[in-house]
Structure 1
Amino acid sequence: MSQATQNTQIKLIARPQGAPTAELFQVEHSTIPQAGDGQILVKQSHMSLDPAMLGWMSDDRESYIPPVELGDVMRSSGYAEVIESQHPDFAVGDKVTGMFGWQEYALSNGQGINKVDPNLSAEMVLSVLALPGLTATQGLLRIGQPKSGETLVVTGAAGSVGSIVGQLAKAEGLRVIGVVGSEDKADWIVNTLGFDAAINYKTDNLAQQLAELTPEGIDLFFENTGGPIQQHIYQRMNAHGRIVVCGMIADYTAATPAPGPNWMNIIRKRLTIQGFTMPDHFHEVPQLLELLVPYVQKGQIQYRSHTLKGLTSAVGGLNLLFTGGNQGKLIVEL
């Protein structure tokens, strides 16, 4: 079979026990499909690797999105070009984003596929205008309701979502403290992104650092990680504070998730705590982009991407999310 007629796919063949390993996946080759009536065929050039993938791989039937079934192509969002179209809304050559999965070519009926500006790089689109930026916009601006002069603490602050949350908050006039896991990441969010301060949860005295950096308490807590600092942030929340719970990566691979804080403070401080996931809001992508794009156009959102080469690099690359080894938005270039 010649290369031009072959589609390489990576399928999930086992459930993870802790961190993901290569044995969970199988590489297969099949004939490239053809677009039928009302369909488009896309050739994917870049895939996004995201912490939520571990949840999608598990057999949790009560989660916000059904698990990837064993034997199916691994789920992921990506950037692609339309190479065949029998769909009225898409033309050959259109650049698009969508949930295309770990494969070179994908068929779609167009649902959940968004056209993007062809002048923007794939890295820019996947790092800012795709899942990370949409998640930050929904979580911070719509749920968090930030107000100028407030103090925000964001965990996973050098990650793809947390870094955008912090920059949006700075643009809205908030004091922003980022929690990170290395001195390099601390330096980046303060000296490049403009955060007011950073806490390295691996080395610093967390309670003391928080007390010094948030003398007037915390109004808004954007939670991406869980882990040892969560309790300390929760204890410093101000009255009528808001906690936006986006991710808990510290607990995704733990045999027993860490216990949550006692609810007493929720009553005493009249806190609002809301969890959210983006599949609930995929139908609102145009409205979310309307909120986000002006910040991008004003140069208020910077990013860095960590690009791996080749489809099969996704298998090992996924682990970087759980070791903190990635320096920026994790992307696979096919």
Structure 2
Amino acid sequence: MSTYKAINLVKHNEGAIGPELFEVVEKTVPEPADGEFLVRQTYMSLDPAMMGWMTSDTDSYIPRVELGDVMRSSGIGEVIASNHADFAVGDQVMGMFGWQEMALTDGAGVNKVDKNLPPEMALSVFALPGLTATQGLYGYGHPKAGETLVVSGAAGSVGSIVGQLAKADGLRVIGVVGSDEKADWIVNDLGFDGAVNYKTDELGAKLDELAPEGIDVYFENTGGPIQNYVFERMNAHGRIVVCGMIADYTSANPSPGPNWMRIIKKRLSIQGFTMPDYRHKTRELHAKLTPYVQNGQIKYRAHVLEGLESAMSGLGLFLTGENKGKLMVKL
């Protein structure tokens, strides 16, 4: 009897991320029933949002992963058995397949992916990162040529795409990163106008140097001290898009937000959002993003870990900032 490996969540994240939260199990390879098909995953995405899905919190935008369940994640793979009219053996597909080598599905939320599209590019650009960047920037950031945009987590999968889209649209783009290597990459490879290293730069002075006319759009992926410095430099009618707060994902005492008086004085718009609300817009968002990719205006880099079990320690890279590019696991 054939088997495959899966990883279950066995402890909730209460401030520490590591292999102790998970259990590797063996499962029997299932036979698809009518209307089902079986996917062999080739690549599995790791995303900062997972740290929120792993907590005991029941008051969130998406149900938590319950103890004993396969850890949730998106991935890409190949259909290897099918009793579904719309999916054939050999199709390359993307969906929420979880931390497992194989996934049985009825096709809900699963999309076909062009076989000529490399899996690393599919997960780095056309999966959650590209959809999130496109929806957040255009749905709430409302960028205009000549404005200044600051994006935190700028070398990450979402932030790097946000910055490149804004740059292509004629904005001045400043990225916040955590190392000189990442600063060099976003400026010299991606074309950002400047970079702030939040670990070594004097934050206020650096922002004044790079954005002397203030900031019109702030795309927030990380939280942390930089948030207040950017907030204090927002221009009138500025827009703040709150996508992630990784600095607080494992904190028992999240940092307080900035004073709301500036929201009134500068008439700021602040919008939090998550992609599950916009899954129905996937085709529309792809249509918006694709021309930028075709024109060579979107570059990416993938940080690939090897083997299913590498995911258990790989998530910790988000907390140390050691990941370089879109983090994923090759199975």
What TM-score, normalized to structure 2? 0.99
Task: Spell out, residue by residue over 1:8-44, the C-alpha distance to the aligned partner (whole angstroms, 9 max, x if none).
Answer: 1000001112131211100000111111111111110
- Deviation readout 1:181-230 (Å, 9 max, x if unpaired): 00000000000000000000000000111111111110000000000110
* Match status 1:176 vs 2:173: yes
- SS of the residue corresponding to residue 262 of structure 2 reads helix
Match of 1:264 in 2: 261
Q: 1:231 maps to what in 2?
A: 228
1:137 corresponds, among 114, 119, 134, to 134
State whether structure 2 residue 307 is matched by structure 1 residue 310. Answer: yes
1:160 is matched with 157
Cα RMSD (Å): 0.8
1:323 aligns to what?
320
2:96 partner amino acid: M
> SS of the residue aligned with 2:286?
helix
- Opposite residue 39 of structure 1, the aligned amino acid is E
1:6 has 2:3 as partner: yes
SS class of match (2:157): coil
* Distance (whole Å) between structure 2 residues aligned to residue 19 and residue 299 of structure 1: 39
Following superposition, the deviation at residue 77 of structure 1 comes to 0.4
Contact map agreement 2:13 2:56 (CA 8 A) in 1: no
Instruction: Tell me the equivalent position of 2:38.
Output: 41
Q: 1:219-258 alignment to 2 at 5 Å?
A: 219-258=216-255
Identity value in percent: 68
Residues 87-102 of structure 1 correspond to what in structure 2 (within 5 A)?
A: 87-102=84-99
Distance in 2 (CA, whole Å) between partners of 1:8 and 1:89 is 27
Contact 1:19 1:322 in 2 (8 A): no
Paired residue type of 2:44:
M
SS of 1:126's partner is helix
From 75, 78, 87, give the equivalent of 1:78: 75
- Aligned-partner residue type, residue 273 of structure 1: I
Is 1:19 matched up with 2:16?
yes
Quote the residue 2:191 is aligned against: 194
Residue number among 100, 116, 121 corresponding to 2:118 in the alignment: 121
Query: For the residues of structure 1 that align with 2:294 and 2:114, how far apart are their CA atoms?
Result: 13
Which AA in structure 1 matches 2:290? Answer: V
Task: Please tell me the residue identity of whatever aligns with 2:235.
Answer: N
| Alpha-carbon distance between aligned partners in 2 of 1:223 and 1:200, rounded to the nearest angstrom | 15
Task: State the alpha-carbon separation in 1 of the partners of residues 178 and 132 from structure 2.
Answer: 21
Q: Deviations over 1:25-65 (max 9, x none)?
A: 00000111111111111110100000000100011111000
CA contact (8 A) 1:306 1:331 kept: yes
What is the aligned residue count? 331
Q: CA deviation at 1:81?
A: 0.7
Report the counterpart of residue 203 of structure 2 in structure 1.
206
| Amino acid of the structure 2 residue aligned with 1:319 | G
Instruction: Please identify runs of 4+ aligned residues in structure 1 that moved more than 3 A.
Output: none
Q: Does 1:51 align with 2:86?
A: no
CA distance, structure 1, for counterparts of residue 151 and residue 206 of structure 2: 14
How far, CA to CA, are the matches of 2:14 and 2:172 in structure 1?
39
Once residues 296 and 213 of structure 2 are traced to their aligned partners in structure 1, the CA distance between those partners, rounded to angstroms, is 30
SS in 2 for 1:67: coil
Partner Cα distance (1:40, 1:281) in 2: 25
Residues 1:286 and 2:283 are matched in the alignment: yes
Whole-Å separation in 2 of the counterparts to 1:146 and 1:108: 39
Offset at 1:251? 0.6
**1:79 and 1:215 mapped to 2: Cα distance?**
43
8 A Cα contact 1:179 1:198, kept in partner: yes
Q: Give yes or no for contact 1:305–1:330 (8 Å, CA) kept in 2.
A: yes
Segment drifting more, 175-184 vs 320-329: 320-329
Contact 1:11 1:26 in 2 (8 A): yes
1:161 is paired with a residue whose SS is helix
CA distance in 1, matches of 2:79, 2:69: 22
